[in-house]
Amino acid sequence: MEEPRNSPRERIAEGTFVRLRDNLRESTIEALTPQVLPDVPYRVLHVERHPEGDVAWLGPRDMSPQNAAAFNPSLTLDPSDDRFQNVYAVPVVHLQRVSLD
């Protein structure tokens, strides 16, 4: 069963690294792939807070700090800007923080 919320200790914020939760239903994983793959860490570029559930915009973990800082969700709509072609919005409830140490 999927957990409804991340614990405060595991708060998802810009700059953190995340991956898909281990306990997701197969149908949820299928809906998110191939854009977001299980066991692959992603960098959180932006978090939108919503009453019905927060959404995190995820980019590649090796994205440059300059591109990560410049990210805005509206930039994903510009096909001429290839910096953000591999950025995806994912409900925070499906994510867990990871350490890259």
Q: In the chain, where are the structural domains located?
A: 8-96
The two tokens of residue 53 are 């559930």
Q: Using alpha carbons only, how large is the chain's radius of gyration in Å?
A: 13
CA–CA distances in Å: residue 64 to residues 25, 57, 71, 97: 32, 15, 11, 19
Residue 76 has pLDDT above 70, yes or no: yes
Burial class (CB in 10 A: 0-12, 13-18, 19+), 61: middle
- In this prediction, residue 7 carries a pLDDT of 52
> What is the average pLDDT score of the chain?
89
pLDDT at 78 over 90: no
Question: Per-residue pLDDT tens for 17-66?
Answer: 999 999 999 999 999 999 999 999 999 999 999 999 999 999 999 999 89
Q: Cβ atoms within 10 A of the Cβ of 54, count?
A: 17
